[in-house]
Amino acid sequence: MAMLKETVQLPEVPWQLSGMLLSAGLGFGYSPSNATEAAYACPHYNGILTSIHSKMEVDYIKNIYRGTNISRIYIGAQSALMTDRLSWIDGTDWDFDYMNPLDTNRGMCLVMDVQGDGFWSRVDCNLQFDFLCRQKIIPFTPEVTSKETHPEIVLDSSNCNSTFVLSPGSFSTFRWPQVPDVMSYCTWRVAALGPYRVGIFFDYWRTYGSLNIYDEFGTNIGEFSGTYSREPFASYASFNYATVKYEPGNATGGNRDTGFHAVIRPV
């Protein structure tokens, strides 16, 4: 039988965030704490493994663990059997995504890096980590009159030559993942709102073209060319704005140019 143990001293005042109270999941956990034990431990504090719905919450949770030796914690998301889709076990909407764009693990549970960028990664549910619970505050909800909705106009998802691409978002070669007959010149102006740097995470690269990244002062901070196939990689701007320029290249091998895809995140 798993025993309760106190692992770290916590403030006595609860943390209120987005209608929730963060409670002592990291301070009072089961030992060992795999995902199942963590999920069963939280109800002892009238809570549930935490869900996360904004970058502000990510930063707030990181601040809780600052100065501790805890590097990763379980958060309350799991994927069901026979599906790759994650969902929050507290039933809230998956309205914010801060997955590590370069994570290739296929575990069914989710941990948060509380000492680095705060990204989420999949892990095997049998691994042991600290965890964080939250208690829901039930607010008064006035009746809302439904509004008529209209179909949303869907543009090319590459965002090629867009005015701005705000994080979290993505950009790619024109019409990706479809392959056009001719690759296009593209420019993207990417930005992160608030006091964050822009992180650009390339999760697909199969192109003969060249790509350059410039900071807000026009300094080249990243140049990628001459290699058709690349493993996933990342580039970080020094500030919250960057310009990315792509120039098609001539095929120098037998492979077809299928372009690239990248996601942007505030870091």
Is residue 151, in this structure, part of any structural domain at all?
no
Is residue 141, in this structure, part of any structural domain at all?
no
Q: What is the pTM of this model?
A: 0.59
> The domain that contains 235 carries what CATH number?
2.60.120.290
pLDDT of residue 142: 64
pLDDT of residue 2: 39
Domain that holds residue 236: 165-266
- Regions in the chain scoring below 70 on pLDDT: 1-32, 45, 81-82, 136-156
Identify the CA nearest to 199 among candidates 116, 76, 77, 75: 116
What is the total count of domains within the chain? 2
Is residue 258, in this structure, part of any structural domain at all?
yes
- The whole-angstrom distance between residue 151's C-alpha and the CA centroid of its chain comes to 27
Is residue 260, in this structure, part of any structural domain at all?
yes
Alpha-carbon distance 171 to 157, whole Å? 7
Is residue 131, in this structure, part of any structural domain at all?
yes
pLDDT of residue 262: 94
Is residue 100, in this structure, part of any structural domain at all?
yes
> The domain that contains 130 carries what CATH number?
3.10.100.10
Say yes or no: 88 and 169 in one domain.
no
pLDDT of residue 137: 59
pLDDT tens readout for residues 191-212: 888 788 899 999 999 999 999 9
